Amino acid sequence: MTIKIGIIIGSTRPGRKAPTVAQWVFDRASERDDAHYELIDLADFDLPLLDERGVPSFGGTYEKSHSISWAAKIAEYDGYIFVTPEYNHSVPGALKNALDYLNREWNNKAAAFVSYGGSAGGARAIEHLRLILAELQVATVRTNIVLPFASQFSPGLAEFTPGDYQLPFLTQMLDQLTAWSGALRPLRVESTPPVGQATR
């Protein structure tokens, strides 16, 4: 069975750079034949601040249509690449909110990170994501991509101009992600119940 990797566009802000960065990742990843890659844009799901009564970690079902749609989409994948900016030394609120909506749909999967931002290139967002995903039982790979504004974007951030030196790191990251996503598959088969069921 083909491994499926979702590339999650982790910002919903107007004028965001995340779709352009995610498209770069998708284009490079799609040249490979070891997995199937798809883009997932948080903006398409229009998730409000978490509004479910049930607690996802307690195994609750979903009542709201947006929760059911989000759960069904995330459940499709064996692993994820989170493309995220850094906001105030952490992750965007929209991305944290989207993570908090679910639990079992994330469990026993793998994740990698591509971040962008100021001088640290979004690295602090990655470190916070590692902690959040550990609680969701997601295994995060070691190699990640950080993209500082000064060297990877044109002046004024008008264009995304990634250096070719990033490509070997991207390859290494994808190698790790597909390997871990495949290795965790037996755990997902054993423990993951059906998702996306409404209680009403």
Domain presence at residue 196: no
Domain presence at residue 133: yes
pLDDT digits (tens, 9 = 90+) for 56-85: 988 768 999 999 999 999 999 999 999 999
- CATH code of the domain containing 145: 3.40.50.360
Residue with tokens 């500082």: 148
Using CA atoms, how far apart are residues 62 and 89, in angstroms rounded to an integer? Answer: 31
Instruction: Give SS3 for 19.
Output: helix
Taking alpha carbons only, the member of 7, 72, 13 closest to residue 43 is 13
Domain presence at residue 200: no
How large is the average pLDDT for residues 155-182?
A: 95
Q: What range defines the domain where residue 33 resides?
A: 4-191
* Per-residue pLDDT at 199: 40
Measured on CA atoms in the order 122, 123, 124, 129, is the torsion positive or negative?
A: positive
How large is the average pLDDT for residues 186-197?
A: 67
Domain tally, the chain: 1
Query: pTM to 2 decimals?
Result: 0.93
Contact of 43 with 70, CB cutoff 8 Å:
no
Domain presence at residue 199: no
Domain presence at residue 197: no
